[in-house]
Amino acid sequence: MGRFFSPPRRFFSRTPGEGLEIVRHDVSHAALAGFQLAFLSDIHACARFSDTALEALFARVAALDADIVCLGGDLAEDAESLSRLTRFFPLLTPRLGVFACPGNNDHEIDGFSRHVGKYLRLLTNESVRLGGLRLGGVDERKWGRPDARGLFPAGEAVFRVLLAHYPICYDFGAGAKPDLQLSGHTHGGQFNVLGLTPYILPFEPRGHAWISGECTLHGVRTIVSNGVGMSRLCLRVGAPPQAHLVRFTR
């Protein structure tokens, strides 16, 4: 999609999580053939996002049977909703764990890191090696201090994945660039009609080169997710909620 328009199966939605699409992406990498990574972003748990819908969301992601689950930030809009959300994290039992990077909304919740730390590993300007894959995560740029330098050591024989809430280019310093970047934040525009979204008006002072779908940012293959929830207005137009399954093949 990106800045172009392709009519989704569900054009309008007023219920968070309604009409969730699972988008599949294939990555050719022989050393990781058979490995699967699930990615979802911008859940925006709130009073309008019912427990039933949250449970259905996590059950559906769990059913993907991924080896690792990655979250792209903006998990909840307030502390009470975050507490409700974490009740469903035990549904996720990937072999290598659940990881996340922070989003701008997450920084606005007191004790966010402490609350989610019981259920996942929050990667804030750090990376972890998981066999033949190195997963890094950067801080968000509104309230935090993103720093991707040194996340991926040069010369390391691994596949590199970056979790970054904002779909922008990052400075990796003397280190290697990631092979794949997973981002969200834009909600696919949340209102996307014929390719026109708030993000090209511009909605934010610092615009985004891509709004939804796969693209290449400064030489890095990047998946920009529509995310799951909604913010400001409980309405999606032309930007259905998404979760993603990245499958490694030969």
Q: How far apart are CA 94 and CA 13, in angstroms?
A: 30
CB 74 within 8 A of CB 44: yes
pLDDT at 197 over 90: no
The pLDDT value given to residue 125: 98
What mean pLDDT do residues 152-156 have?
A: 96
How confident is residue 232, by pLDDT bands cut at 50, 70 and 90? confident
Left if phi > 0, otherwise alpha if psi is -120 to 50, otherwise beta: which for 17?
left
Strands (E), 146-230: 159-163, 180-183, 213-217, 220-224
How confident is residue 10, by pLDDT bands cut at 50, 70 and 90? low
Q: How many Cβ atoms from other residues are within 10 Å of residue 88's Cβ?
A: 19
Interval 78-137: pLDDT, tens: 999 999 999 999 999 999 999 999 999 999 999 999 999 999 999 999 999 999 999 999
The pLDDT value given to residue 5: 41
Q: Tokens 């764990």 label which residue?
A: 97
Interval 62-83: pLDDT, tens: 999 999 999 999 999 999 999 9
The pLDDT value given to residue 66: 98
CB 102 within 8 A of CB 70: no
The pLDDT value given to residue 153: 96
Q: Which of 47, 145, 162, 164 is nearest to 103 (CA)?
A: 164
pLDDT at 3 over 60: no
The pLDDT value given to residue 206: 66
How confident is residue 7, by pLDDT bands cut at 50, 70 and 90? very low
What mean pLDDT do residues 222-236 have?
A: 91
Helix (H) or strand (E) holding 99: strand 98-100
Q: How far apart are CA 100 and CA 166, in angstroms?
A: 13
The pLDDT value given to residue 218: 92
How confident is residue 196, by pLDDT bands cut at 50, 70 and 90? confident
Interval 30-58: pLDDT, tens: 999 999 999 999 999 999 999 999 999 99
What mean pLDDT do residues 182-207 have?
A: 81
Q: Which of 159, 139, 151, 157 is nearest to 175 (CA)?
A: 151
Q: How far apart are CA 239 and CA 46, in angstroms?
A: 19
Q: How far apart are CA 15 and CA 143, in angstroms?
A: 28
Q: How many Cβ atoms from other residues are within 10 Å of residue 82's Cβ?
A: 21
Interval 170-192: pLDDT, tens: 999 999 999 999 999 999 989 88
The pLDDT value given to residue 71: 98
| Helix/strand/coil (H/E/C) assignment for every residue in 223-241 | EECCCCCCCCCCCEECCCC
The pLDDT value given to residue 177: 97
Q: pTM of the prediction?
A: 0.93
The pLDDT value given to residue 240: 92
